[in-house]
């Protein structure tokens, strides 16, 4: 399946924002070694996409809250169906269906970002000198925009440059290798820290899952992905790292607002009893005849004089 439509969409948004900043008078020349029109175009590419994805993120948070509220009932079902994996899965899925909770919604915030990241990586990766005019005008670019973006800098490091760029590539970009490595290294460090903080913020607010598989995914998000960036960051163009850092900072602010608006269920909150579709399960979960109430009322057994 061709991903050209993603490259066209990313290029269109990026070029529209760059055109806007040019129109409002952002200097075309470098200020503090930076071409701010291109940097702002990348920043507002992030904002555009996050605004479009905001309803999905709210839906994800609501689903997480529903899952948390149902956790005591899921735990009760696990105790009942020890050794009966099929029965447990059937009852848990029925519980989720009745309460309109969808565990698959946990992937919602990440899935749309993957093609966007791949698209931006490809678009910035194709900014290389020495290419034919036909190549330079792919995805809606024109020669002027291509050459301008090729010379775009962040603190004198080209946004098309990488920490692992070869001496030949850096020479073609007219960039100093030491400057590129310093800027890229600082950005990669910020990218790793903000990725970790974003995942940690979400886990602290939603809590660690009691499900072993979900907990493993949480640990992968918290530790695995930031650790992988230490190595993969070397092959990311600086423009892509800028996108990732801004996206993380936006996530931290957005998550803080949404999580405060939709707080987790209060500890000890009473939940709806499990309504099992299995008569035997319902019978097993029902109170035993003659059993004492779990929370007897004070004075309830006092004899009248």
- Residue pLDDT, tens place only, 225-238: 889 898 888 999 99
For 154, which DSSP code? E
pTM: 0.74
The string of DSSP letters for 123-134 reads: HHHT--TT--HH
Distance of CA 94 to the CA centre of its chain: 28
Q: Residue 272 above 60 pLDDT?
A: no
First-last CA distance in the chain: 84
pLDDT digits (tens, 9 = 90+) for 92-117: 888 877 876 766 665 556 666 778 88
Is the separation of the CB atoms in 172 and 140 below 8 Å?
no
Contacts of 260 by beta carbon, 8 Å cutoff, 6+ apart: none
pLDDT digits (tens, 9 = 90+) for 187-233: 999 999 999 998 888 777 667 766 676 778 778 888 888 898 988 88
pLDDT of residue 52: 84
Mean pLDDT of all residues in 141-151: 91
Count helices and strands (H / E) in the chain. Answer: 13, 2
* CA dist., res. 22 & res. 301, Å (int): 81
Q: What is the dihedral of CA 17, 18, 24, 26, to 10 degrees?
A: 130
* CA dist., res. 127 & res. 160, Å (int): 6
Q: Residue 13 above 60 pLDDT?
A: yes
Mean pLDDT of all residues in 287-291: 53
Angle at 97 between CA 95 and CA 99, to 5 degrees: 70
pLDDT of residue 12: 94
pLDDT digits (tens, 9 = 90+) for 71-90: 788 888 888 888 788 888 88
């Amino acid at each position: 399946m061709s991903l050209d439509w993603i490259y066209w969409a990313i290029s269109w948004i990026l070029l529209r924002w760059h055109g806007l900043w040019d129109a409002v008078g952002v200097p075309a020349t470098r200020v503090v070694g930076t071409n701010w029109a291109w940097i702002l175009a990348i920043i507002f590419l992030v904002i555009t996409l996050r605004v479009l994805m905001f309803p999905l993120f709210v839906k994800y948070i609501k689903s997480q809250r529903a899952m948390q509220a149902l956790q005591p009932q899921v735990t009760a079902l696990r105790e009942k169906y020890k050794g009966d994996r099929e029965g447990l899965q059937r009852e848990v899925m029925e519980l989720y269906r009745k309460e309109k909770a969808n565990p698959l919604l946990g992937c919602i915030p990440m899935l749309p970002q993957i093609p966007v990241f791949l698209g931006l990586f490809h678009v910035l990766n194709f900014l290389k000198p020495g290419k034919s005019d036909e190549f330079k005008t792919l995805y809606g670019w024109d020669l002027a925009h291509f050459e301008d973006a090729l010379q775009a800098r962040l603190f004198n490091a080209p946004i098309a440059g990488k920490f692992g760029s070869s001496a030949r590539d850096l020479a073609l970009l007219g960039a100093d290798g030491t400057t590129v490595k310093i800027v890229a290294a600082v950005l990669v460090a910020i990218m790793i820290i903000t990725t970790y903080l974003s995942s940690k913020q979400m886990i602290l607010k939603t809590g660690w899952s009691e499900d072993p598989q979900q907990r493993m995914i949480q640990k992968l998000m918290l530790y695995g992905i930031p650790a992988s960036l230490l190595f993969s960051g070397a092959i990311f163009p600086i423009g892509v790292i800028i996108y990732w850092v801004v996206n993380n900072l936006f996530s931290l602010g957005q998550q803080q607002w949404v999580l405060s608006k939709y707080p987790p269920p209060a500890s000890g909150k009473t939940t709806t009893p499990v309504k099992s579709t299995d008569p035997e399960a319902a019978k097993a979960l029902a109170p035993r005849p003659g059993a004492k109430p779990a929370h007897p009322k004070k004075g309830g057994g006092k004899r009248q004089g």
